[in-house]
Structure 1
Amino acid sequence: MVHPRDRRARLLETGMALASELSLPVLLQRIVELAAEITGAGYGALGVIGPGGDLVDFLTTGITDAERAAIGPLPRGRGLLGALIEDARPLRLDELSRDPRSAGFPANHPPMHSFLGAPVRARGHVFGNLYLTEKSDGPDFTVEDEEALITLATQAGIAIANARLHEEVRLRERWLQAVRDTTAAIIAGSEADDVLRRVARSARDLANADIATVVTPDSGDVMRISIAEGAHAEKLEGLPVSMTGSVSADVIRSGRPVVLDDPLTDRRAQKAVLDLGLIGPTLVVPLTVRGAPYGTLAVLNLSGGRRFDAEDVRLVESFAVQASLGLDYSRRPRAHRQGTP
């Protein structure tokens, strides 16, 4: 058991350490690990809440990568996880299964009994929740554990707000640079495929995605993945995509983006892509040429990866505009591109 004086000292050290970390992904993982360490929890998680109230990311400690992959897609925030989302107050339980809000665990999930949770607020809003289970040095979490977690959650909220401000500035700078580079390539007369590859690479990078693809018309009723960047790129590039019944077909027809949390449960997902395995959350936006539907730009994460949110949609759509400009420009006669009468 941690001595109260040692715990207070550790929390002071933790506050300073968190405040100095400006990389949001690194910070979030560190928060989970510190929460488990300070409370003596065997397992810990930080669920990040998206605009719709669902969990869009779920960082863990105490579970191996293999165990996490075996468990499957990220939780959406139902059951007890959802209880903390709906009622953002600390929650301490001796036995998870006895709470009527408990929804049980998916297959391959390690058994868990004792539970401690607390909200993390940043900029006046609930950013997410800390979830801890399996007290290691006693049967149950204590009042002192709860107080320590509340203190850590407060420190974490301040650190997250600082890191997000820093990340937003850096993301804006990187986005502007990517737009400048793509615009310069378009004006220089780069081939359409070169522009599209540059756009896909930038979208993948700035959306922190594992994969980016561009789907364009091929012949007849078939489109193809003409550009692929990231994981499985060499297997994805060139795969056919149906003009009917596919996600890309629906996006082209509607002109609106589609976000899939789990493509395995969506009948429109392409079997050839799913057969590669481990494909997870997917975001697909339309490409247009002079206002007419042409193809799609997509970013994907591997199974168990972060879900895409409204900010990701806006970001990827901005790159789709760049791709559309490149396609339009490449189709103009060279004399017109150079401004020759």
Structure 2
Amino acid sequence: SKNGVNFHGEAAFKFAIRDHQGSVLWKSGKEEGEVLRIFVTNGRYTVLLGGQGTNALSPEIFASDQTLYLHVRVDLGDKKGWREISPDQPIHSTPHSLASDYAKIAGGVSPGSITSKMLSDKVKTEINKPIAPGAITTAQLNEQILKYLKPEITLSPQAPGLIFNGQTITLHSRAEGKYLTYQWYKNGQAIAGADKKRFVIEDVNKSRHDGNYTLVVSNDFGSVTTQPTQLVVDGTPTSHTVPSISMDMIFCPPGTFIMGSPTTEAGRGEDETQHQVTLTNGFYLGKYEVTQAQYETVMTGNSEGLNAKPSQWPNNNDRPVEKVSWNDVQVFLSRLNDME
């Protein structure tokens, strides 16, 4: 256990068999410092001593009638190093009511001393019986084997921070494994047709697409589910057209940016000190420069007496308007907002 709770996960083990005096008669590692990595399920594990990559067990170890003890050391990977599982557990290879010479005979069977003639027909039939298709299923595989066969998520989906109506959003994930299948879910419900590792949402809409999205990746050996990602759609349209002057505008979301120019920039003014600016509200920005025709339409009849055709090269309706001051722009914006 770890902190009073049954340990669950992979741990490193070292095993040894000792006699009652503490002398080591066998140890699991073939090399000094070699460990055996075993998956522990709620404090329980299974290990085949003498197999599973450990040193072979000599039958002579169990030939005497002395009591042997299994000594176990474990490292749980919690940076506390090796600890002993105590007390050592006694081992009995055969009931000690048997005489030791019988034990020696049982342990002294040499290779080839048992022949097929010694086996009954029933035993031969069982040995040679073919494994039927489907006889071995995942239910017969332990958790340690299944862990290496079922899918593993390497990248969970992540929704963008700002999403607006009408956008196209792509959620994607990555997983490792063989013969994988995919199914996307929204708020725990399977999404029809969303069976690829990428899920594309076109013309996103707040009322239809807000929610938590997950991806389940499966194969014949199990399934894994990604961490959920929340998709929140801002109802603000990403674009807008001012119909009266056919002005295309795009939405600039709120955020933070650096205004000004670096001191190393050639020709910079003294009033361009860099500083952080935060916009708490979004706004619409013209996609292109204001044309002479658009400016004239808005400014014609203004009460400030400003020239509606200030350009040095007038009568070029599709060219940008120039020779406009900052104060002139404020009047233009005020009148444009009134028109909207």
Q: Give the TM-score band, short-chain normalised.
A: under 0.3
* Higher-RCO chain (CA-CA 8 Å, sequence separation at least 6): 1
TM-score normalised by length of structure 1: 0.21
Q: Report which of the two has the higher share of strand.
A: 2
